[in-house]
Structure 1
Amino acid sequence: MSEIQELKRKVEELEAKLREATKEKQNAREKIKEMSSEVVDSNPYSRLMALKRMGIVNNYERIRDFTVAVVGVGGVGSVTAEMLTRCGIGRLILFDYDKVELANMNRLFFQPHQSGLSKVEAAAETLRNINPDVDILTYNYNITTVENFDHFVNILRTSSLKNGPVDIVLSCVDNFEARFTINTACNEHSLPWFESGVAENAVSGHIQYINPGETACFACAPPLIVASNIDEKTLKRDGVCAASLPTTMGIVAGFLVQNTLKYLLQFGQVTNYLGYSALTDFFPSMKLKPNPNCDDTNCRLRQKEFASRYRPPEIAVEAKEDEKPIHEENEWGINLVDESGDTNKEETSVAEGVRLAYTLPTDTSIEECEEATASNDISLEELMSQMKSM
C-alpha cells in the first residue's frame, strides 16, 4: 500500500469518527432540547424537571432561554459555570485572562493536564463535554483595561440568545478593581448582577444581589481599602499567597447558582446579601439599601428611575365642610362629634376615648361644674344611666 493510500485510509477513518461524534452530539442535543420530564435513565434532565412536577418551578424548561455571563473563571467561577452547564443554561459567556496552573489543583474543576491553557478555553472544553447543547462564548482578556472595557460592555448588552442584554452577570473575580468595573457597566446599562467573594483566609465568603436603583451597588458602601484610596496591589506580602479551600469556594458557588436559578426561574426568595463563616457555620443575611449619595452617578440615576416606577399611588382625600358637633347643647355640657367618616384618623385607645368624652367645655370652670353637680345632686350612676337612654 502506497503512502498516499495510507493517508487516504487514515482520513476516511477520521471522517467516520467525526461523523459518529457529530451524530452522538446531535442526539445529545435533541435529548436536551426536549427537556422531557420522563423518568428514565437515558434522560439527563429528568431529575431537574422533577422540580416542575413537585411544584417548585412552574417552567423549568425556560432555562434554555437564558444567558448568563460569568466574570472570573477561578475557584468560584469555574464551579459556578459547571453548575449552570449541568442545569442546562441556554448560553454561558466566560471572561478571564489568566492561565491554569498546577497551583490551582487544590480547587475543583480544573485538571493537571490543562496546565498552561487559558482558563476560559480549558473551561469551555470541559463544559462542552458535560453538556454539548449549552452555547459557550469565551473572552480571554482583562476587563479593567481601557481598550477592553467597551468591548466587555458591548458583549453584556448584545450577546444574549435574543441578541439583547444578558439576563444576569455573575462576578467571581478576586480584586476590587474588577468588581468596580462590573459595577460601572451594570449601573450604566441597568443590568442585574451578583457579586461574590471568598476571603484570603479561605474560611469565609459571601454573595450579594445587586439590581441598579433597587439595592445598594458596590460603590454605595465601598470597602475600606477603596474608600481610603489604597492601592490593593501594594497589600500583597512577598512570599505569602492567599489560602483557598475547595469546600468554601464550592459552598459560595452553590449559593451563587442557587440564587441565580431562583432569580431566572422566579421561585423562592432571592437573597440580597448572604455571608458565610466556616469557623462557626454562621450565615448572616441582610438587605442593603442604595446610598442616595453614592459616588456612582449612574447608580443615583437608577435610584431615581426606580423610585418613579415604584412610587406608591397617592390617595385622594375629598375636601369636606367643617363638621359641627352633634348635640351641641345639653345639660351636661358634653360635645359629641361624628367620626365615622374619618378613616384616616389614628386609632384611639379605650382609655383615651373615655377621657376625651368626659372633657369639660372650655368655657366652664371647675368651680361652676362642681356647683352645678352639687345643686342637681345627681350621682355618677344616674348620669351614666341618662346618657345610655339618649
Structure 2
Amino acid sequence: MAESVERLQQRVQELERELAQERNRRAPGSGEGGGGRVRIEKMSSEVVDSNPYSRLMALKRMGIVSDYEKIRTFAVAIVGVGGVGSVTAEMLTRCGIGKLLLFDYDKVELANMNRLFFQPHQAGLSKVQAAEHTLRNINPDVLFEVHNYNITTVENFQHFMDRISNGGLEEGKPVDLVLSCVDNFEARMTINTACNELGQTWMESGVSENAVSGHIQLIIPGESACFACAPPLVVAANIDEKTLKREGVCAASLPTTMGVVAGILVQNVLKFLLNFGTVSFYLGYNAMQDFFPTMSMKPNPQCDDRNCRKQQEEYKKKVAALPKQEVMQEEEEIIHEDNEWARRFCH
C-alpha cells in the first residue's frame, strides 16, 4: 500500500512538471499568458521603444554589471506571494529572471487591496494562480512553476524539498536562491530546515505587525547564522503562534513599507546573482526614522538545528583547505635629494 501511494505521488510530480513545461512552451496569445509581445530569444541593448530590456542592458554600458544577460540563467523560488512576495516576483519578472517557482496556499481577498500587485477582479483565485497569470502577461520570456499548498505539512514539505533540489532552470538542478516572503515563524523555520539540510542559500524578509519597519537577511548555511541560531522569542519559547492572534484583530499593513522591503530584497538578489556591489547579510528598515541598520551574524555552534551544525563543520573544512595568502610588505619609497621637494628645503 505504501509503495503504491509513493508511486502515485511520484506520478503526480511528473505530471506537474510536464504541465509546467507545456505551459511555458505555449505560444504568446494562445489564451494564457504571452501578453502583447512575442518571446525574445536574446537580450539586446538596442535603444528602441520596442526593446523591453534596453534600460536593463544599459547597466553593462555604465559598468555596473559585466554580463546582465546572465540573469536568464537563474531560477529563484519565492515562498509566500503576499505583500512582499508578489512585488518581489513582479520585479524579478521585469528584470528578466530565467525561472520563478512560487509557493503559497492562500487566496486573493479584497482585504489584500491595500497592497500592491493584486487586483479586485482576482479575489477568490489562489495567489499563485493570479500571480502567474499577471506575470506571464508582463514577461512571457520567464518560466513559471506554481504550487498552491502549505509547505509546513509533512507531505508538502517533501515535495517542497524536491522542487528546491530539482526545480532549477534545467530540470534536475537545484534553484539558485530561495526567498522567504512569509508572514509567520512556522513557515520561516520550515524553509530554514529545508535549506540547512540541502545547503541551499536563501534570503529571509519580513515586515513588522505595526507596518513601519522591516528587514531582509542573507543566510548561507554554515557561513552565517541560520534562522534557528538566534530565533525570535516566539520560536525560542516554543509558543504556538495561533494563540497570539485575537478575534477581529489583524496586523497593520502599508504598501509603502512592503514596497521598500521588496525593493531592497530584490536589489540584494540581483547583486548576489550578478556579482556586483555589496550584498547585505542583514539590512533593516525603520520607517519612523528612515533608518537602515546593517549587521552580520555568525552561526551559533550550539544551534538546535543539527544540519546547521553540520554545515558549519563543512564550511570550516572548506576555509581550512583554502591556500593561505602571504602578506607582502611594501618597501618604502626612497625619496632622493634631487627631487623637487628636497631642492626646495635643502637650498
- Whole-angstrom distance in 2 between the partners of 1:177 and 1:221: 15
| Matching residue of 1:54 | 62
Match for residue 220 of structure 2 among 211, 219, 222: 211
1:294 alignment partner in structure 2:
303
Q: Offset of 1:155 from its aligned partner? A: 0.5
Q: What does residue 80 of structure 1 align with?
A: 88
Letter aligned with residue 103 of structure 1? A
Cα separation, 2, equivalents of 1:166 and 1:313: 26
Residue in structure 2 matched with residue 128 of structure 1 by the alignment:
136
In 2, Cα distance between the equivalents of 1:33 and 1:201? 44
User: What is the correspondence of 1:328-343 to structure 2 with a 5 Å cutoff?
Assistant: none
For 2:241, the aligned partner's letter is E
1:314 and 1:161 mapped to 2: Cα distance? 33
Q: Is the 2:257–2:287 Cα contact (8 Å) retained in structure 1?
A: yes
Change (3 A) 1:286 1:185: same
Partner of 2:290: 281
Question: Which residue, 257, 265, 268 being the options, matches 1:259?
Answer: 268
Which letter maps to 1:222? P
Could you tell me which residue of structure 2 aligns to residue 36 of structure 1?
44
- Higher normalized contact order (CA 8 Å, seq sep 6+, divided by chain length): 2
Which amino acid letter does the alignment assign opposite residue 298 of structure 2? K
Which has the larger Rg? Answer: 1
Following the alignment from structure 1 to structure 2, what is the Cα–Cα distance between the partners of residues 153 and 303?
21
Task: State percent identity of aligned pairs.
Answer: 70
Deviation at 1:66, TM superposition (A): 0.4
Instruction: Tell me by how many angstroms 1:20 deviates.
Output: 8.2
Tell me if structure 1 keeps the 8 A contact 2:27–2:34. no
- Change over 3 Å in CA distance of 1:46–1:284 after alignment to 2: same
Deviation at 1:34, TM superposition (A): 1.7
Q: Is the CA contact 2:28–2:38 (under 8 Å) kept in the aligned structure 1? A: no
What letter is aligned with 2:197?
E
Which letter does structure 2 place at the counterpart of 1:214?
E
Q: Matches of 1:76 and 1:302 in 2, distance apart?
A: 29
Gap change, CA 1:19 and 1:263, over 3 Å in 2:
closer
For residues 196 and 20 of structure 1, the distance between their equivalents in structure 2, rounded to whole angstroms, comes to 34
Counterparts of 1:19 and 1:220, CA distance in 2: 47
Unaligned segments of structure 1, at least 5 residues: 1-17, 316-342, 344-390
Match of 1:220 in 2: 229
Quick one: distance in 1 between partners of 2:259 and 2:315?
34
| Counterpart among 229, 237, 241 of residue 232 in structure 1 | 241
Q: 1:313 to 1:34 in 2, by over 3 A?
A: closer
Q: Which of the numbers 95, 99, 108 marks the counterpart of 2:107? A: 99
Superposition TM-score, scaled by structure 1 size: 0.74
Is the contact between residue 28 and residue 133 of structure 1 (CA under 8 Å) also seen in structure 2? Answer: no
* Correspondence for 2:12: none
Letter aligned with residue 232 of structure 2 = P
- CA shift, 1:33, in A, is 2.5
Distance (whole Å) between structure 1 residues aligned to residue 35 and residue 261 of structure 2: 34
1:233 Cα deviation from its structure 2 partner: 1.0
- 2:125 alignment counterpart: 117
Measure the CA separation in 2 of the matches of 1:29 and 1:85.
15
Distance 1:99 1:266 in 2: 36
Equivalent position amino acid for 2:164 in 1: L
Query: Do the aligned partners of 2:29 and 2:36 also contact (CA within 8 Å) in 1?
Result: no
How many residues of Structure 1 are paired with residues of Structure 2 in the alignment? Answer: 298
User: For residues 304 and 97 of structure 1, do their structure 2 counterparts lie closer, same or farther at Cα, with a shift above 3 Å needed?
Assistant: same
CA pair 312-159 structure 1, distance change in 2 beyond 3 A: closer
1:47-76 CA-to-partner distances (Å, cap 9, x unmatched) read: 000001111001100111100000000000
Q: CA deviation at 1:298?
A: 0.4
The answer as to whether partners of 1:215 and 1:288 remain within 8 angstroms in 2 is yes
Compute the displacement of 1:26 (Å): 10
* Structure 1 ranges of 4+ moved more than 6 A: 312-315
Shifted more, 288-297 versus 303-312: the winner is: 303-312
Equivalent in the alignment of 1:242: 251
Instruction: Report the alpha carbon displacement of residue 238 of structure 1 after superposing the two structures with TM.
Output: 1.7
